[in-house]
Amino acid sequence: MKTVTKFISESGREFDNEPEAQQDELYFNAVKKTTELFYPTIPMGLDFANGEGYIQLSEDRKQKILNAFDEIIKTFHPNLVGKPVGYIARYLDDNKEHARRLDYLIACIDDNNRLWGQPFFTGKQGGRIMIAVSELRGK
């Protein structure tokens, strides 16, 4: 029998070495901090996920969210910079990346900066409504 050392990050993922676990914790915490920008308290009894109401975001708050997402992509997924939005979303989802939740939430914002419970309620079925990565926005 031999002793095996594993490192478990805050996200619950296991790693064979400490630097990888630390990098995952940085990534996980960056996504967590950005996700917190989306949500004030949702009123009790509101079936938010099924279209009952929305959260109105200010333009400034929406930009903070998009800029934070841009930084997360640049820092933790530089291979995705400049890729089509659909590719980014698919990559994040297929690889069960921490940022996939942010990508989904960004898709729930409509043209009037309203955050809905699902992308369906943005009225823009059939595609993403925003391109978050700076290079794709023309910055």
Q: Quick check: 27 pLDDT over 60? A: yes
Q: Quick check: 46 pLDDT over 80? A: no
**Cα–chain center distance at 69:** 7
Instruction: Note the pLDDT of residue 54.
Output: 83
Maximal CA-CA distance, the chain: 61
Residues listed for the chain: 139
Task: State the pTM of this model.
Answer: 0.75
Average pLDDT taken over every residue of the chain: 81
Q: Quick check: 22 pLDDT over 60? A: yes
Q: Average pLDDT for residues 16-42, to the nearest whole number?
A: 87
Per-residue pLDDT reduced to its tens digit, 83-115: 887 788 889 888 888 898 888 888 888 888 888
Query: Residues with Cβ < 8 Å from 41, sequence gap 6 or more?
Result: none
